[in-house]
């Protein structure tokens, strides 16, 4: 086994594609496939499962990747210390449900990051993919919520992935609506008040289970339903169709000045937090990001 082979494995895991990884590494796809197969045969494990939908990391592959990343990081530290004066391009990744405060903290991290080179990633994505990203170390941090309804299912996936949930705050249910919506001036709204309006939610792909929904009260039947895949589209539809969605009520007025949060009169609590891998220490950048995340939440909660 060589360092180069390990780097090949990490590139495939990062890209979820042998073809894309080969392009990134500037080698041919057959050469990369051969190198991967030789490593798997040498180690006696299967790191990647090849399917019609692409590359899937196996359970033993996930464990291998944990050690592989540590080996490469230590090698790069040695190279940077003794072979080069060039500062290594820093990498950092966060996967999150569609929260404005996660974006605000990411912006602050970049504004205060004094490096000429970096490779950062912010993935606003589906709940299951957030868990998978942190489990496979594609991201250091994943941001999602738990409540009484989804807690048992989500925590099962966290346990299986050796992940830990760290609570950031608790929130009562709110609806996000256009500030010119007739409900915007009410001190609170009820589920009955919302019946005439389209309900907007984030689709969850192959894992479109109620337990993976970003919105609480996901099992309720509604006459008008629209599923979207990104936050910009959802907010545009809130405005264009006078629709609504259900969330924590924490909103960044600078990023979303046409949207307001109104309390929803239901007995529900959201426990919003971040997940990390139990067996991996967070990088200094991750700690800085978490500090900014907590500050962004505190600032935006004042507007609720």
pLDDT, one tens digit per residue, over 235-254 is 999 999 999 999 988 877 66
CA atoms of 71 and 85, how far apart (whole Å)? 21
| Per-residue tokens: 220 | 């309720």
Residue 137 has a pLDDT of 85
In this structure, the strands spanning 259-263 and 244-247 are: unpaired
- Average pLDDT per consecutive 10 residues, the chain (304 residues; last block may be shorter): 86 86 84 88 88 82 84 75 58 92 92 79 94 90 95 94 95 93 94 95 84 90 92 91 91 75 93 93 90 91 58
pLDDT score at 255: 60
pLDDT score for 254: 66
Going by C-alpha positions, the residue among 267, 240, 263 that lies closest to residue 194 is 263
Query: What CA–CA distance (Å, rounded) separates 181 from 119?
Result: 40
Strand 141-146 relative to strand 90-96: parallel, antiparallel, unpaired? parallel
CA angle 294-295-301, nearest 5°?
Answer: 90
Tokens of 24: 């990134």
């Amino acid at each position: 086994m060589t360092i180069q082979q390990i780097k090949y494995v990490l590139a495939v895991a990062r890209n979820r594609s042998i073809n894309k990884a080969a392009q990134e590494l500037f080698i041919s796809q057959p050469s990369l496939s051969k190198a991967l197969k030789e490593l798997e045969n040498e180690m006696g494990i299967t790191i990647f499962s090849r399917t019609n939908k692409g590359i899937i990391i196996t359970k033993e592959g996930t464990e291998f990747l944990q050690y592989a990343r540590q080996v490469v990081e230590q090698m790069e530290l040695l190279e940077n210390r003794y072979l080069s004066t060039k500062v290594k391009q820093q990498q950092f990744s966060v996967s999150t449900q569609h929260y404005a405060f996660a974006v605000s903290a990411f912006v602050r991290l970049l504004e205060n990051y004094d490096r000429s080179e970096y490779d950062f990633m912010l993935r606003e994505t589906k709940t299951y993919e957030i868990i998978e990203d942190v489990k496979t170390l594609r991201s250091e941090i994943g941001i999602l919520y738990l409540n009484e309804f989804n807690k048992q299912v989500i925590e099962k996936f966290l346990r299986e992935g050796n992940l830990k949930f760290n609570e950031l705050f608790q929130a009562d249910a709110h609806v996000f609506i256009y500030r010119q919506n007739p409900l915007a001036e009410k001190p609170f709204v009820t589920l009955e008040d919302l019946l005439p309006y389209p309900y907007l939610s984030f689709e969850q792909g192959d894992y479109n289970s109620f337990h993976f929904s970003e919105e609480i009260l996901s099992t309720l039947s509604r006459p008008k339903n629209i599923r979207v895949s990104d936050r910009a589209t959802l907010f545009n539809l809130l405005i264009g169709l006078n629709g609504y969605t259900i969330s924590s009520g924490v909103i960044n007025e600078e990023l979303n000045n046409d949207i307001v949060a109104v309390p929803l009169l239901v007995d529900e609590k959201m426990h919003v937090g971040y997940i990390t891998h139990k067996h991996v220490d967070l990088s200094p950048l991750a700690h800085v990001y978490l500090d900014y995340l907590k500050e962004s939440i505190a600032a935006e909660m004042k507007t609720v």
